[in-house]
């Protein structure tokens, strides 16, 4: 049997000050799945994400990516396999030009100049920014910078894509453009979001995390139609949005 793209088993974590954040989290994502990770502020979503590429080390439990355990001795390969796009693109963009930012990861893998150039061109084409290769990232709009951040990850040819609040601070056109990019990818994807209609549009399955525990793992439309569940975990749909009858638009 092929190993899942991502498998989290009984993951528990407490910060050094003793504050327990995760309590035995289980999560499996298969090849080609797009899954939304939902939950109120303080639920433990970002802490979970930081375990997926080894930034944090579990206090208990395990994380594997394509069957490879997330462990210190293989962090380089794990960070190639797990492409994390953080909430603020400026946390990931620091080179003089867009192309140099996208080239940074593949260059550090020791790839040839020709191979790096191919990956840069491929990644920028995937996010619709090939024409911006020579521009400084800080000259781009916020939405464009987020797409460049996605390109920096795609250039590493990851095996799973993780996005933390990808729609924050995006205008409607930028949200739509990003959605179209994500829908075009065949990568297994975990989208951490408060944007419930975006989860409805992009992710057939949603996992609800609250107080460090997975409290629901269901088809997205079914989960969002459960008003009692949403209310209990401080999640709210936009006024007038009904996931049972109304198509979502980003």
**pLDDT on residue 107:** 96
Residue 94 placed within a domain: yes
Range of the domain at 167: 6-232
**pLDDT on residue 117:** 97
**pLDDT on residue 249:** 47
How far apart (Å, rounded) are the C-alpha atoms in residues 114 and 73? 29
Sheet holding 34-38, edge to edge: 82-85, 160-164, 189-192, 34-38, 205-210, 213-219
Residues 60-78: pLDDT tens digits? 999 999 999 999 899 999 9
How far apart (Å, rounded) are the C-alpha atoms in residues 219 and 167? 21
**pLDDT on residue 12:** 98
Residues 128-149: pLDDT tens digits? 999 999 999 999 999 999 999 9
Residues 183-226: pLDDT tens digits? 999 999 999 999 999 999 999 999 999 999 999 999 999 999 99
On the question of pLDDT at 247 being above 60, the answer is no
**pLDDT on residue 1:** 64
Give, in order, the Cα–Cα distances in Å from 223 to each of 147, 233, 236, 250.
29, 12, 12, 19
Longest C-alpha distance within the chain, in Å? 55
| Structure tokens belonging to residue 121 | 């061109």
Please list the helix, strand and coil fractions of the chain in percent, rounded to the nearest 5, in that order. 40, 25, 40
Residue 247 placed within a domain: no
Residue 119 placed within a domain: yes
Residue 241 placed within a domain: no
pTM of the model: 0.93
Task: Work out the average pLDDT over 152-170.
Answer: 96
Looking at the structure of the chain, the number of domains it has is 1
> What's the alpha-carbon Rg for the chain, to the nearest Å?
18
**pLDDT on residue 244:** 80
Percent of the chain's residues with pLDDT above 70: 97
Give the other-Cβ count within 10 Å of 238's Cβ. Answer: 9
| CATH number for the domain harbouring residue 96 | 3.40.50.300
Q: What distance lies between CA 96 and its chain's CA centroid?
A: 25
* Owner of token pair 């899954």: 35
On the question of pLDDT at 248 being above 80, the answer is no
| Mean pLDDT, all residues of the chain | 94
The answer to whether the CB of 61 falls within 8 A of the CB of 37 is no
Give, in order, the Cα–Cα distances in Å from 23 to each of 13, 37, 140, 212.
7, 16, 40, 5
Q: Which residue has the higher pLDDT, 133 or 240?
A: 133
**pLDDT on residue 250:** 45
Please report which confidence band the pLDDT of residue 57 belongs to, taking 50, 70 and 90 as the band edges: very high
Residue 31 placed within a domain: yes
Residue 242 placed within a domain: no
Give, in order, the Cα–Cα distances in Å from 238 to each of 195, 202, 242.
9, 17, 9
Residue 110 placed within a domain: yes
Residue 237 placed within a domain: no
Residues 102-119: pLDDT tens digits? 999 999 999 999 999 999
Give, in order, the Cα–Cα distances in Å from 127 to each of 144, 146, 148, 190, 225.
9, 10, 7, 18, 32
């Amino acid at each position: 049997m092929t190993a899942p793209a991502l498998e989290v088993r009984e993951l528990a974590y407490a910060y050094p000050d003793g504050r327990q954040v995760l309590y035995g989290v289980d999560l499996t994502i298969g090849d080609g799945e797009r899954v939304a990770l939902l939950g109120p502020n303080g639920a433990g979503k970002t802490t979970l994400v930081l375990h997926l590429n080894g930034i944090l080390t579990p206090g208990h439990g395990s994380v594997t990516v394509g069957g490879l355990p997330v462990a210190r001795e293989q962090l380089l390969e794990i960070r190639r396999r797990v492409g994390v796009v953080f909430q603020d693109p400026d946390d990931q963009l620091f080179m003089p030009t867009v192309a140099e930012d996208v080239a940074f990861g593949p260059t550090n893998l020791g790839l040839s100049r020709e191979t790096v150039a191919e990956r840069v061109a491929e990644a920028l084409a995937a996010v619709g920014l090939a024409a911006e290769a020579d521009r400084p990232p800080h000259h781009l709009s916020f939405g464009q910078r987020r797409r460049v951040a996605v390109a920096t990850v795609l250039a590493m040819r990851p095996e799973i894509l993780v996005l933390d609040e990808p729609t924050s601070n995006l205008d409607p056109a930028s949200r739509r453009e990003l959605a179209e990019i994500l829908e075009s990818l065949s990568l297994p994807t975990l989208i951490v979001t408060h944007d419930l209609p975006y989860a409805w549009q992009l992710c057939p399955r949603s996992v609800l995390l609250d107080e460090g525990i997975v409290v629901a793992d269901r088809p997205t439309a079914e989960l969002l139609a459960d008003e009692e569940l949403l209310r209990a975990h401080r999640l709210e749909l936009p006024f007038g949005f009904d996931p049972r009858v109304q198509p979502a638009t980003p």
